[in-house]
Amino acid sequence: MVDDDAGFTDATAQIIELLQHSVTVAGTVADARQCLEQNTYDLVLLDIMLPDGSGFEVLEALYRHNRSAHIAFITGHVAVKNIVRSVAGPEVSFLLKPIDVDKIRSLFNRVVASAEDNSAVTQTHFGVLVGESASMQALYTMIERVAASNANVLIQGQSGTGKELVARAIHNASGCDGAFVAANCGAIPTDLIASELFGHEKGAFTGANARKIGLFERAQGGTLFLDEVTEMPLDLQPNLLRALETGRITRVGGSEEIAVNCRVLSATNRTRDELASKQYLREDIYFRLAVFPIELPPLQNRKEDIPLLAQSFLDEFNREQGTGYRLDNDALARLECYRWPGNVRELRHAIQRAHILTPPDAEVLVLPDDLGSPFASETKQPTALQAGQTIEEVERQLILETLKATDGSKPEAAEMLGISLKTLYNRLNQYQQTADTNLESG
């Protein structure tokens, strides 16, 4: 229940508890966001106007962390309903002040009935994971066990298998008080990684116009998730290692050590063999990050979960757009026969694409003729060399094909080609300049 009227929330909370439901109260947008990051809820009672913003700002966090929750806006004016529905969608409910037992009981009965209708379709584990296969049941057991400890976890799996969702599941299962803070190490510029992780003081470098709190401090008492951790340059990994070993960090440009207390979860799509044979991670930092390694199965190894996942995605899109499409047996059979090299992410993309293309008056979801995407297709053989190609053209083809083979990893491609990373970047910049010149001349 998100409302800044303490008298109202106290009285309403007592009624809810008398009806044998548990309730959490938040008085601000910030408090509500923190609650939604840490827990999952069946129902969110939401005031429209809050001291630090509006209820619509809470919706952003709700859709991100707890999309299945039912939303009921608290208002004292009937006329507000249509305005709110135009923004929040038709599925929201309303709780009109003054509140009494009958109004709250009626609202809860509707939510419980809706949950019972949906429970036969999909069930989520830890608020985020879908699947009942043997491999997923084993994963749930591992999550429960590691969540009870403070051990750092390295999550490994192919691209699209849901590594961040597993990290969120561990965070949710742990019941910690702090937030879930995520960062993609592969997307942070090399010269800003230290600032992002540890923060910086004002004037620490050009452009540092104010103090910045880093990810470790933001995750205090919670969970820090480092995605694509193997893309962090080796020369910066000792700084991360020291933070993991000592539990203390120093902001860039600062001198004071700051104690931090958060669990670190990390993820990579590199295989165990790649980690062992190629130096993506220093050995000492691997043992700190991978106290408890978890390997996620590709979707083709748990095909019995495909109908559950597809239905879960379709339910999501139906709720968002106010549609009622369903999956028939023919569609489910097609989904189960496809390999899904892009894993769960590719399946979600296919269902969303089908949802957009299905005619508005249709009852059954219409799948496209081609389920696959160009980025998740089978590995193709490099284009054969042709007589008359210049050395520059052959070199360009070799570099681009090598990048494809390494899934775009420039450090790995440079190593395979036997050139420095700087040389690789110079070549790629040269190709881009040539393409821009040809475009302008054309």
For the stretch 18-58, pLDDT in tens is: 888 999 999 999 999 999 888 888 899 988 888 888 787 88
Q: Are residues 153 and 221 in the same domain?
A: yes
- Same-domain pairing of 173 and 248: yes
Q: Are residues 221 and 261 in the same domain?
A: yes
pLDDT digits (tens, 9 = 90+) for 255-273: 899 999 999 999 999 988 8
Task: Return the SS3 of 243.
Answer: helix
Q: Specify whether 264 is located in the same domain as 155.
A: yes
Which range of residues forms the domain containing residue 342? Answer: 305-376
In angstroms, how far is CA 248 from the centroid of its own chain?
A: 27
90: tokens are 């038709």
151 and 19 inside one domain? no
If one counts every other C-beta atom within 10 angstroms of the C-beta of residue 272, the result is 11
DSSP tag of 376:
G
337 shares its domain with 430: no
> Which long-range contacts (C-beta less than 8 Å, at least 24 apart) are formed by 185-192?
185/226, 185/227, 185/228, 185/229, 185/230, 185/231, 185/232, 186/227, 186/228, 186/231, 187/228, 190/233, 190/236
Count of domains observed in the chain: 4
Instruction: Provide the 10 A C-beta neighbour count for residue 271.
Output: 13
Distance CA 237, CA 194 (A): 10
Same domain, 173 and 317: no
Same domain, 73 and 190: no
The residue among 251 and 123 whose pLDDT is bigger is: 251
CB atoms within 10 A of CB 51: 9
Residue 124 has φ and ψ, to the nearest 5°, of: -100, 145
Place of tokens 């054309």: 442
Asked if residue 383 is part of any domain, the answer here is no
Q: Which residue has the higher pLDDT, 64 or 359?
A: 359
Q: Mean pLDDT across the stretch 189-202?
A: 91
52 in a domain, yes or no?
A: yes
Distance CA 42, CA 313 (A): 18
Crossing angle of helices 410-417 and 391-405, rounded to 10°:
130
Q: Check residue 34 and report its DSSP letter.
A: H
Which pLDDT score is estimated for 427?
A: 83
**SS3 state at 151:** coil
**290-302 tens-digit pLDDT:** 999 999 999 999 9
pTM given for the model: 0.60
Strand 153-156 relative to strand 292-295, pairing: parallel
